[in-house]
Structures are given as structure tokens and as C-alpha cells.
Structure 1
């Protein structure tokens, strides 16, 4: 049984680099501590242990399927946030690079920046709400999922969408502040 588990579940090429868990640790997480302990013993498995393994596999499969659905939902959320964040950044860049920005009156420029700020705030609010409302399982929530997925990634950002969106929001607020205090209509976007 241990050999079969090692040759299937633990044999995926990324297992060591991503998980690096021992057989016992993985068995405990997937099938429970009682089964992990029973499978450590040498010799044939008692009928009761065999039945317990079979009974625990179904829920483990259901948990995996449910987690895949959560991952699919997270991917869709990331894609949507990327599209909106990219659209805001693109509009800001296009606005700055256009002749329109230098020829517009001050109030129109402020309105454009305010609109982009509002969209950015909506993006931040939507992502925060999604993280707070997400239930991954009985034991984990949206914050745990973000930690699991992103904490060890590039930049070690636990909340990459929020990090980027807040950075964009700060940039827009700086522009807004500059427009309010300076009052100029020259290129102030950069």
C-alpha cells in the first residue's frame, strides 16, 4: 500500500519541490492520522484498515474536486482583476500621452482622474470582499488560500491583486493631489 501511494500520489514531478512532505505527513493530511499510523506498520493490512482506507478515499477525492473548483474561481477572479487593473493603467497612460491631456481644462482632467480612482477603489473593494467571503473548506478561508497560493511567490506578496491595485490607487491619488494643489493642466500624470 505504501509503495503504491509513493508511486502514484507522491510521484508527480513537482511533489518534492512544492510539498516536500514525508509519506506519513501526506497520508495524515489526505486520509487521516489513524490510517497514516496503520500504513506505517509492516505486514499485511487488517481488513478493518483496508476498509478505512477505502472509506477515506471518497471524501479525499471530493475535497480535491472542491479545491479545484476554488482554484478555478480564483483564476477567474485574478483574470477579471487583471483585465480591470490593466484597463485602468492603460487608460491612464493613454490619457497622459495624448494631446488631450494638455489641452483639456483642469476640471475635465480632474474628472478623468477621479473616474479612474473610483474604478481602482471598486477593484480593491471587490477583491477584499471576495477574499473575506470566500470559504475554501470548513477549516480555511480566503486569507488562508491567498497565503497558500501566493506567499512564497515572486515578491512574496500574499495578496498580489491588492498589492498592485493599491499601488495604482496611490499613484492616482498622487496625481489627484498634485492637480488639486498645483492646479496646472500640463502633463501631470507621470
Structure 2
């Protein structure tokens, strides 16, 4: 179970309540503050005047947009490969072993017959299919950086080992094999469409979370300004109101964290068992955190808790 820690705030992925249990009334907090030797008795300004810059979310958005571009490139390359391959004409069925369209339904792919009838010269269809695959699927801008697979390795990943063996081992391409290549390629393209939809959903979610965090942080800043306005020392009641509103902001952050944890438990895309989870796939290469949204929430929560502690100093000095 993954854990994200920023400052003094810890969120555990999968936990139902990501915020710590705290004293719920001003009086018990003031009592604690008055007995804490670390609390100064003078007036202390609230922490951090500037709006929080949500760097974690910014980095996540950059990562998502780059990944989205790559998925679109791969989807479009597969579409072009399908269009080109569909335009090729395979050999007639009587030149190949029987078995119908077994390959398209998951069975064995019929290969060219050997040792029956007069020998037939090899055609160039296999070479054309392979050439078109290299020119499309293997020519996306990020191919070398991301995969750097050989032709056989790439075909095996996208179309399956059986198709790869049939295509590369035989001199001629049967009609069933041709149909299977098109069908499997279309399946790979649809998988990119599903992944693209999930990435778009993730982009939408982090935009929404960032907007909500910005509203919370703007309120936090306004509360700070409220205590600093004018030359008069803030009253106990004013400090108590600010302290309570900051508590509401912390609770709002906790709600955001709980919502995000639900998304982590039920992602919009579920890869194969042997693949990393959707969010690991998206953020596993980030240097600072594998859970940027939770980290951004934790960062703001830590700021709010710091502000609440400093409001208690004012409460202690005005009470």
C-alpha cells in the first residue's frame, strides 16, 4: 500500500480518512497552545502570504499531455497501417491450407502449403506488410526512446506471437492471415482509444482538483488578510472565527483526498495483470512522487495546519 508524505501530512492510499484526528474546539486548542513552550506569546503573522503553487499537479499535467500525444501518435500510426494493409490483396484461398478463418476467431492461423502441387514463387506481400508496419507503427517520434523493439518484437507485442510467426516464417501471406493482421491491428488501435479516453478523464480530474485547491488556498489567504487588516489587534472572536474557517478548509482538503483515493482504487483504465496499474503507468517516472494529486492536497493541508497553529498563538495572546 503506497504512502505519500509532504511536510507533516501523510495520506495512505486506500485509507478512508486521510486527515488526522484533531481537537475540534477552539477552547481545547487554546489550552494546548498555552501549555506548549514552543508557542510564543506575542503576535505572529499567518504563514505564507503567496498562493501555493501546485507544482506536483503541474508536473502531472505535463506528463499526461506528453503521454496523450504519444498515444495519439500510436493510434494514428495503427490506423494508417490498417488502411494500407487493407488495400493489399492476399493470395486466393486454394493456394493455402484449409481451416477457414480460424485465426480471426482465435484458432491456428493457416500457413502456406508445402510439398503439394507445383512450387509457387514467393510474393512480395509479406515484405510490403512489414515495410508498411515499419513506416507507420515503428516510425512514431518516440518509438526508439520508448520501445526500441525489433520488427519481430513489436509485431509480437501489437499483434501477438502467432501472427508474428506466421508472417515472418512464411514466404506467402494467406487470406486468413491477412484478415487476422487487420483484425489484430484494429484491436491494438481500439486499445489506444480506450487508454486515450482514460488519460483525458485523468486530465479533467486533475484540472478540477487544482481549481478546488486554488479556491481553498485563496480563502486561506483572505483569512490571513482579514487578521492583518488595520492597526488594531484582532479580537479573540475574530481569531476564533478564522481558526474555525481554517478547520473547514482542512476538512475540504480531506474530502478531496478521499475522492482521489476512490479514483486510485477504481481507475478509468485497467491494464492486463502483468502490466503496472493505470496511475503507476502515468506517474511512475516522476521523481518527487508517484501520487502527485495526493501530494498537492497534502501540501496545502500542511499549510492550513500551520496557519491554524499560528492563529492559536493569536488566540493565546488575546484571550
TM-score normalized with structure 2 length = 0.50
1:69-80 alignment runs, 5 A limit: 69-80=197-208
The answer to whether the Cα contact below 8 Å between 1:35 and 1:49 also exists between their aligned partners in 2 is yes
Indicate yes or no: 2:12 matched with 1:12: no
Match of 1:51 among 179, 182, 197: 179
CA separation of 1:33 and 1:110: change in aligned 2, threshold 3 A? same
Aligned counterpart, 1:136: 269
**RMSD of equivalent CA atoms:** 2.5
Aligned counterpart, 1:172: 304
Aligned counterpart, 2:227: 101
Partners of 2:181 and 2:285 lie apart in 1 by 33
Aligned counterpart, 2:289: 157
Partners of 2:148 and 2:301 lie apart in 1 by 39
TM-score normalized with structure 1 length = 0.80
Q: 4+ runs of 1 displaced by more than 6 Å?
A: none
* Structure 1 unaligned blocks of 5 or more: none
Partners of 1:24 and 1:85 lie apart in 2 by 48
Deviation string, structure 1 residues 77-118 (Cα, Å, up to 9, x no partner)? 11111111222223223432x1x1233622111112112101
Aligned residues: 180
Q: Compute the displacement of 1:120 (Å).
A: 1.0
Partners of 1:29 and 1:40 lie apart in 2 by 14
